[in-house]
Amino acid sequence: MSSTPEVPNGEEPVPSGRLERVQASGSRVVRALILIAITVVLVVALAYALAAFVPRSWAQWVGNRVDGSLLSGTVWGLFLGFAFTLVPLALIWLATKRWVRGGWTVAVVLLAVLLAAPNLMTLSVVLGTNSSAHAGERILDVDAPGFRAGSLWGALLAVAASVAVVWLTRSRRSRGRRIRDLESEAGHRGEAESGASPGEAGGDQLPGDEGGTRRTTGDGTAGAVRPPSTPPTTPPEAR
């Protein structure tokens, strides 16, 4: 049986290998979307559970480290925002791999949520509406200026870096597949050309042309006649 699926007349058949790659890529995308949805649900549930006391405690911890310095607050915000966004995104991307299955997938997702906790706690201070969140905002305004803006910029830089890495990885794999396809096509073409008969490349000698050089050209017509060469004669003076 042929490995290429049947298609209606007039349409070019799709190679089975390419079809399998497209199907595998689609399944990975669906799996990634499901994992992202599960992660969002876990994050929301955890945020509601810890919203009563986490914002104030987190703001006090940050304020003790920054101690009212704008530069220190910005640096701390950039570091925490970048590191604890990039690592969770890398873990979620790892969880989409086909060799991470079953309980390992859940464990990797939970670890990603745990490592994103610093940014989630900062988000609870910024977006919270209860008394603990308002107290955390006042603490950050006085003791940690620049921390919230630094956290936002760090998270955005981490997302941009993750998108760039994924795009470069996929484009490199796609370019490698195209190069392999071109090399395979060139190899098949070379084998076909080497298997051609030598008589097809040049002309054949016509009958009766033993003394001349009449040969057929590439289109089958007779070429010009060149007389046979004669040996040089010795002048009489040299005898």
Tens of pLDDT, residues 139-170: 999 999 999 999 999 999 999 998 998 888 88
* Structure-token match 């914002």, residue found: 55
Domain span at residue 85 reads 17-186
Mean pLDDT, range 128-145, rounded to an integer: 90
Please classify residue 136 by burial: count the beta carbons closer than 10 Å to its beta carbon, then call 0-12 exposed, 13-18 middle and 19+ buried. Answer: buried
Answer whether residue 100 shows pLDDT above 60: yes
Mean pLDDT, range 65-69, rounded to an integer: 91
Task: Please give the tally of structural domains in the chain.
Answer: 1
Within-domain flag for 175: yes
67 vs 231 pLDDT, higher one? 67
Task: Please report the pLDDT score of residue 227 as a whole number.
Answer: 54
Within-domain flag for 143: yes
Within-domain flag for 99: yes
Highest mean pLDDT among 73-82, 128-137, 190-199: 73-82
Q: Has this prediction a pTM greater than 0.85?
A: no
Within-domain flag for 2: no
SS (HEC) of the chain:
CCCCCCCCCCCCCCCHHHHHHHHHHHHHHHHHHHHHHHHHHHHHHHHHHHCCCHHHHHHHHHHHHHCCCHHHHHHHHHHHHHHHHHHHHHHHHHHCCCCCCCHHHHHHHHHHHHHCHHHHHHHHHHHCCCHHHHHHHHHHHHHCCCHHHHHHHHHHHHHHHHHHHHHHHHHHHHHHHHHHHHHHHHHHHHHHHHCCCHHHCCCCECCCCCCCCCEECCCCCECCCCCCCCCCCCCHHHC
Within-domain flag for 215: no
Task: Please report the pLDDT score of residue 102 as a whole number.
Answer: 66
CB 65 within 8 A of CB 146: no
Within-domain flag for 100: yes
Within-domain flag for 151: yes
Answer whether residue 114 shows pLDDT above 70: yes
3 vs 171 pLDDT, higher one? 171
CB 125 within 8 A of CB 46: no
Task: Please report the pLDDT score of residue 186 as a whole number.
Answer: 75
Within-domain flag for 216: no
Per-residue pLDDT band for 58 (boundaries 50, 70, 90) equals very high
CB 213 within 8 A of CB 226: yes
Task: Please report the pLDDT score of residue 202 as a whole number.
Answer: 47
Task: Please report the pLDDT score of residue 33 as a whole number.
Answer: 82
Task: Please report the pLDDT score of residue 146 as a whole number.
Answer: 93
Mean pLDDT, range 117-140, rounded to an integer: 90
Answer whether residue 4 shows pLDDT above 70: no
Helices 117-127 & 54-66, crossing angle to 10 degrees? 110
Question: Residues 200-209: pLDDT tens digits?
Answer: 444 444 454 4
23 vs 176 pLDDT, higher one? 176
Task: Please report the pLDDT score of residue 8 as a whole number.
Answer: 52
Answer whether residue 83 shows pLDDT above 60: yes
| Mean pLDDT for the chain overall | 76
Mean pLDDT, range 32-47, rounded to an integer: 79
